[in-house]
Amino acid sequence: MIEKSMSIVGTGYVGLCTAVGFASRGYKVVASTHDPEKAELINKGVPPFFEYGLGETLQKVVKKGYLKCVPDREEAVLNTGITIISVSTPSQPDGSIDLRFVESSAGEIGEALNKKDTYHLVVVKSTVVPGTTENMVKPSIEKSSGKRCGVDFGLCMNPEFLREGSALYDTLHPDRVIIGEHDEKSGEILESLYRDFLGEEMPPMLRTNLPTAELIKYANNAFLATKISFINTIANICQKIPKADITVIAQGVGLDKRISPLFLKAGLGYGGSCFPKDVKALIAFSKSLGYSPVLFKAVEDVNNVQPYRAVRLAKKLIGDLAGKRVAVLGLAFKPETDDMREAVSIKVISKLLEEGASVVAYDPKAFVNARYVFGDRIEYARSSIDCLKDAECCIVVTEWEEFKQLEPGDFIKYMKNPLVIDGRRIYSPQKFGQEVKFAAIGLSA
Ligand SMILES: NC(=O)c1ccc[n+]([C@@H]2O[C@H](COP(=O)([O-])OP(=O)(O)OC[C@H]3O[C@@H](n4cnc5c(N)ncnc54)[C@H](O)[C@@H]3O)[C@@H](O)[C@H]2O)c1
């Protein structure tokens, strides 16, 4: 029989999108969070963060009674047959992974299981380093429940690959399902759940052991981060070669079927809640095993300094930045999200402020979160045009679609000195004539 009820611990991007995704296809979902304000918002059909399409679907599933959010872990676990752990796994100061929330969640799930007589499946969806599910989650649950893994309860590791900005879509249409299983029965139950949930759209599925599934997630993110730092390295070489243009080079390289054009966009580097922390965690984890992964250290090194290239270009073109008004277009770590975690804009703006520039910034969605980061140290514009007004330099930091609509005439009309630094290669250099000075990552001057 297919399990039609589930509980989800952690209601961030992964937890809430998983909850809404399953609820939208008729599963009874109980989400749980320690934060009562967040639970109240969710129960009113309001997501606590911005994600396209999530609000509408959340409202529908709450109204129909398919999803509710509770602050009590026990209530969630006891009323369902499967519990998914999707709490955050942030970085510690030394870069290694902080597994406190996963461990405490496992303990709480175990306490609830102690009061349950029937079999229950626990699924770890949070990104965790290899060994966590077997050596931390399993003993925590066994200890607090007094039950045996593989007998009284099952355990799987099911890495998540959704992209913020299209998180709900990705939940409903994943390109693969990876199941790491403690035992065959656990894997069978999770596979049946996915087959029922995804129906004819069931993508390729891989069933494996727990540490392999855990490492697949890190390998995935480390590879994508490597592609980004790779193309940025070529872009930085390009910058020194007259007439060379990285966008055309990336196109040419991307036509190779072995490479693909995706994640070959030169720019100011990667940010966000996953790539930086996962690359750091993989490095720290490998070192703990006595292996130093020099490749990933280089990927990180390239990425750490890439944002400053925009500021360097600005200084090269207008000299000392002290007292100059600089417009920054884009604050979120990527378009279609309001997430500011490890956003490149933080490095760019901090450096601009350090140089004495006065910064005015605009982002279609992230201004509330940006205020927590920059406070009153910068000015917040209400639109991209408003942001350009009287600026002596404009830096494109996030590639929002609406910035692509700006015309050379806008920069000429509103800026004090029309100078554009395209940190995300959203404009064709040919678009700008003599009247707008144009510089871009990976485009020689
Ligand atoms: N955001 C992404 O794009 C993405 C994609 C794939 C995988 N992941 C991974 O999934 C996990 C969750 O990521 P996220 O972006 O959803 O995180 P998030 O920070 O958006 O949300 C995590 C949630 O867990 C809650 N939480 C923390 N401790 C808790 C506890 N003990 N009990 C209940 N709730 C608790 C937090 O309050 C928060 O709501 C991380 O391991 C992350 O690496 C994230």
Distance 21 CA to ligand 1 centre (A): 16
Amino acid sitting at position 293: P
Q: Which ligand 1 atom lies nearest to the CA of residue 162? A: 5
Phi, psi (deg, nearest 5) at residue 96: -70, 165
Radius of gyration (Cα) for the chain, nearest Å? Answer: 24
Give me ligand 1 centre to Cα 101, in Å. 9
For ligand 1, atom 1, the nearest C-alpha belongs to: 13
**Which residue of 7, 13, 97 sits with most ligand 1 atoms within 8 Å of its CB, as the best mutation to test the pocket?**
13
Dihedral angle, C-alpha 44, 47, 50, 56, nearest 10 °: -60
Q: Which residues are catalytic?
A: 274
Q: How far apart are CA 287 and CA 304, in angstroms?
A: 20
Strands 5-9 and 28-32: parallel
Report d(CA 176, CA 201) in Å as an integer: 10
* 128 Cα nearest atom in ligand 1: 41
What pLDDT does 102 receive? 98
| From 89, 273, 341, mutation site for ligand 1 pocket: most ligand atoms within 8 A of C-beta | 273
Atom 18 in ligand 1: which residue has the minimum CA distance?
Answer: 12
pLDDT truncated to tens, each residue of the chain (445 aa)? 677 999 999 999 999 999 999 999 999 999 999 999 999 999 999 999 999 999 999 999 999 999 999 998 898 999 999 999 999 999 999 999 999 999 999 999 999 999 999 999 999 999 999 999 999 999 999 999 999 999 999 999 999 999 999 999 999 999 999 999 999 999 999 999 999 999 999 999 999 999 999 999 999 999 999 999 999 999 999 999 999 999 999 999 999 999 999 999 999 999 999 999 999 999 999 999 999 999 999 999 999 999 999 999 999 999 999 999 999 999 999 999 999 999 999 999 999 999 999 999 999 999 999 999 999 999 999 999 999 999 999 999 999 999 999 999 999 999 999 999 999 999 999 888 888 999 999 998 7
Could you give the C-alpha distances from 357 to 6, 93, 130, 267, 314, in angstroms and in order? 52, 30, 45, 22, 11
Q: How far is the CA of 441 from the centre of ligand 1 (A)?
A: 33
Query: What residues are in contact with ligand 1 under a 6 Å CB criterion?
Result: 9-15, 33-35, 86-89, 101, 104-105, 126-127, 160, 162, 164, 273-274
How many angstroms separate the most distant Cα atoms in the chain?
Answer: 76
DSSP string of 320-358, one letter each residue: --TT-EEEEE--SSSTT----TT-HHHHHHHHHHHTT-E
| 102 CA distance to ligand 1 middle (Å) | 10
Exposure class string for 400-416: b at 16+ Cβ within 10 A, else e: beebeebebebbeebbe
> Ligand 1 atom closest to Cα of 167?
3
* Candidate of 72, 87, 122 to mutate for ligand 1, largest count of ligand atoms within 8 Å of Cβ: 87
Distance 126 CA to ligand 1 centre (A): 7
Query: Pairing mode, if any, of strands 358-362 and 177-181?
Result: unpaired
Q: Which residues contact 112 (CB under 8 A, 6 or more apart)?
A: 73, 74, 76, 77, 78, 145
Q: What's the DSSP call for residue 71?
A: S
- Residue 11 CA: nearest ligand 1 atom is 39
Say if residues 191 and 261 touch (Cβ distance below 8 Å). Answer: no
In terms of Cβ atoms closer than 10 Å to its own Cβ (0-12, 13-18, 19+), residue 372 is exposed
Give every strand in the sheet of 205-208, ordered side by side. 67-70, 28-32, 5-9, 82-85, 120-124, 153-157, 177-181, 205-208
Copy the structure tokens of residue 146.
Answer: 């007094």
| E strands, 346-418, in order | 358-362, 379-380, 393-396
Nearest CA to ligand 1 atom 38: 12
Angle at 100 between CA 94 and CA 102, to 5 degrees: 120
pLDDT in the model for residue 3: 77
As beta bridge partners, residue 154 has: 121
Q: By alpha-carbon position, which residue is closest to atom 15 of ligand 1?
A: 13
Q: Measured from the CA of 15, which atom of ligand 1 is nearest? A: 16
**168 alpha carbon – ligand 1 mean position (Å):** 15
Instruction: Specify the pTM.
Output: 0.96
| Residue 180: partners with Cβ closer than 8 Å, 6 or more residues away | 133, 156, 157, 158, 159, 208, 209, 210, 211, 212, 213, 214
Distance 357 CA to ligand 1 centre (A): 36
In this prediction, residue 9 carries a pLDDT of: 97
